[in-house]
Structure 1
Amino acid sequence: MNMRNAAINLRAHPEQRDLIDEAASILGKNRSDFMLEVACERAQAVLLDQIFFQLDNDKFQQFSALLDAPVNSNSGLERLMSIETPWKEDK
C-alpha cells in the first residue's frame, strides 16, 4: 500500500469547505482525495499551457510546411551522433 506522507495544509472559508465537501460527496470521494485530484488536474493544465501555442492560419501553414519539409543534412550533428557515449554499457 502506497502511503502519502507529504502534508499540504490550507485554510478555507466555511462556505468553500462546504462546497468542496458537497462536490466530493457527489463523486464518492473524501475531501482530501477530491482536492488532491482537482489540484493535480489543474496543475497539469497549467503546465500544458506552457507548451501550447496558437497560430493564425497563415502561420500554421508555414509551420506545417517546415515540419513536412525534407530533413537537411547536418554534418556536425552526424559527427556528434557517431561518438560513443561514456555511459553506454559494454555488451
Structure 2
Amino acid sequence: MRDAAINLRALPEQRDLIDHAASLLGKNRSDFMLEAACDRAQAVVLDQVFFSLDTDKFKQFTALLDAPRTSNEGLERLMAVKAPWTA
C-alpha cells in the first residue's frame, strides 16, 4: 500500500503530455509518473556506482588497482587525525 505522498505542480501542457503518454501505455498519471521518476532516479544512482571504460582504459584501471600500494604522506597524516565526534 502506498502511503507516502509526492506533490508537484505542472503547467497544463505538461500535465496533458504526461496524461497522453500514460494513456498510451494504459497507465494512470500517478503510476506513469512514479515509474518514470524511479527509472530516472535509479539511473542517476547507478551512474555514481558503475562506469564504462574501453579496453585500454580498463587495463590501465585494473593495473592501478593491482599495483602495490605506495606511500602517501598526506593520506597517512589525514588518517592519523582523530575524528572530532570520537573525542
Aligned to 1:10: 8
Distance in 2 separating the partners of 1:54 and 1:27: 32
List alignment gaps of at least 5 residues for structure 1.
70-91
* RMSD between aligned residues: 2.1
Distance in 2 separating the partners of 1:51 and 1:31: 30
User: 1:45 corresponds to which letter in structure 2?
Assistant: A
More helix, by proportion: 2
Pairing 1:5-84 to 2, within 5 Å after superposition: 5-55=3-53, 57-64=55-62
Distance in 1 separating the partners of 2:3 and 2:18: 22
Q: Which consecutive aligned stretches of 4+ in structure 1 deviate over 4 angstroms post-superposition? A: 64-67
Aligned to 2:80: none
Residue 53 of structure 1: how far off its partner (Å): 2.5
List alignment gaps of at least 5 residues for structure 2.
67-87
**Paired residue total:** 66
Residue 26 of structure 1: how far off its partner (Å): 0.3
Residue 62 of structure 1: how far off its partner (Å): 2.6
Q: Could you state the TM-score of these two structures normalised by the residue count of structure 2? A: 0.65
Q: Secondary structure at the match of 1:59?
A: helix
Residue 65 of structure 1: how far off its partner (Å): 5.2
Residue 64 of structure 1: how far off its partner (Å): 4.4
Residue 32 of structure 1: how far off its partner (Å): 0.3
Residue 61 of structure 1: how far off its partner (Å): 1.6
Deviations 1:30-65 (A, max 9, x none): 000000000000000000010122445433123345
Q: Could you state the TM-score of these two structures normalised by the residue count of structure 1? A: 0.62
